[in-house]
A and B are shown apart, each in its own frame.
Chain A
Amino acid sequence: RKEVEQDPGPFNVPEGATVAFNCTYSNSASQSFFWYRQDCRKEPKLLMSVYSSGNEDGRFTAQLNRASQYISLLIRDSKLSDSATYLCVVTEGGSYIPTFGRGTSLIVHP
């Protein structure tokens, strides 16, 4: 199974800041892309899907760059409650098994 790479961080930012994470994947045939959020000692939960055209959900924007094989997550106007680990998830074409990155830790401080 191919790799999904993320910078583990932590990214330490003040409230109100804008922060961006990238995730690279190695299989150019990958088809499905997601960002999940995982709070400490909790299960991962879907944050948003990532579409080829990019998508936005409130303060969160996800983008896919197939040519360079990476996806990104942008968080604007960071809140204390955004503190969590953000997991990049990629499913290869022809596979039914999502591969999870190890996650990027975000800490938003007052």
Chain B
Amino acid sequence: GAGVSQSPSNKVTEKGKDVELRCDPISGHTALYWYRQSLGQGLEFLIYFQGNSAPDKSGLPSDRFSAERTGGSVSTLTIQRTQQEDSAVYLCASSSSTGAGNTIYFGEGSWLTVV
């Protein structure tokens, strides 16, 4: 079946511009996560959505970052006034539920380069 789908795959943007990254989770998955991975670094948690509950935004690095999830499915991560340090791969993942032991499945990521 279809996995987690992310778009765009690659994005080059000028410093100061806004970007939107999209994630379409696996059908039926209620939990959705955004992580960021800078070159040669580990995965950094950004935000978590579960059903209709308020999202856990504790990982967002600044108020330039925001995310929403419409209809409990597709999610959009928005970065305003991009900076060079925002350059990274943004990974979306989904899970069928949030019980302990549930596997999360990643999309291929959106590679963002800020020039």
Q: Interface segment, B20-28, B79-87, B102-110?
A: B102-110
The reply to whether A45 and B98 form a contact with Cβ atoms under 8 Å apart is no
The reply to whether A44 and B43 form a contact with Cβ atoms under 8 Å apart is yes
The reply to whether B43 and A97 form a contact with Cβ atoms under 8 Å apart is no
Task: Select from chain B the residue with minimum beta-carbon distance to A96.
Answer: B98
Per-position contact with B for A21-36: 1 when CB-CB < 8 Å, else 0?
0000000000110100
- Rounded to whole angstroms, the CA-CA distance of A107 and B100 in the bound complex is 32
**A60 interface residue per 8 A CB criterion:** no
* Given known A-B contacts A87-B43, A99-B45, A100-B43, A31 and B108 have beta carbons under 8 A apart: no
Contacts of A34 in B (CB 8 A): 103
By secondary structure, the B interface counts as: loop
The reply to whether B107 and A32 form a contact with Cβ atoms under 8 Å apart is no
The reply to whether A101 and B42 form a contact with Cβ atoms under 8 Å apart is yes
- Rounded to whole angstroms, the CA-CA distance of A99 and B45 in the bound complex is 8
- Rounded to whole angstroms, the CA-CA distance of A100 and B36 in the bound complex is 11
Per-position contact with B for A70-101: 1 when CB-CB < 8 Å, else 0?
00000000000000000100010100111111
Contacts of B108 in A (CB 8 A): 42-43
The reply to whether A46 and B103 form a contact with Cβ atoms under 8 Å apart is yes
- Rounded to whole angstroms, the CA-CA distance of A96 and B45 in the bound complex is 12
The reply to whether A93 and B109 form a contact with Cβ atoms under 8 Å apart is no
Chain A interface residue number, banded = 20 to 34
The reply to whether A97 and B106 form a contact with Cβ atoms under 8 Å apart is no
* Given known A-B contacts A45-B106, A97-B48, A32 and B100 have beta carbons under 8 A apart: yes
Question: What is the minimal beta-carbon distance from A13 to any residue of chain B, in angstroms?
Answer: 21
**A55 interface residue per 8 A CB criterion:** no
Question: What is the minimal beta-carbon distance from B77 to any residue of chain A, in angstroms?
Answer: 16
- Rounded to whole angstroms, the CA-CA distance of A97 and B108 in the bound complex is 19
**A102 interface residue per 8 A CB criterion:** yes
- Rounded to whole angstroms, the CA-CA distance of A93 and B98 in the bound complex is 11
**B101 interface residue per 8 A CB criterion:** yes
Chain B interface residues (CB < 8 Å from chain A): 31, 33, 35, 41-43, 45, 48, 50, 56, 58-59, 91, 98, 100-109
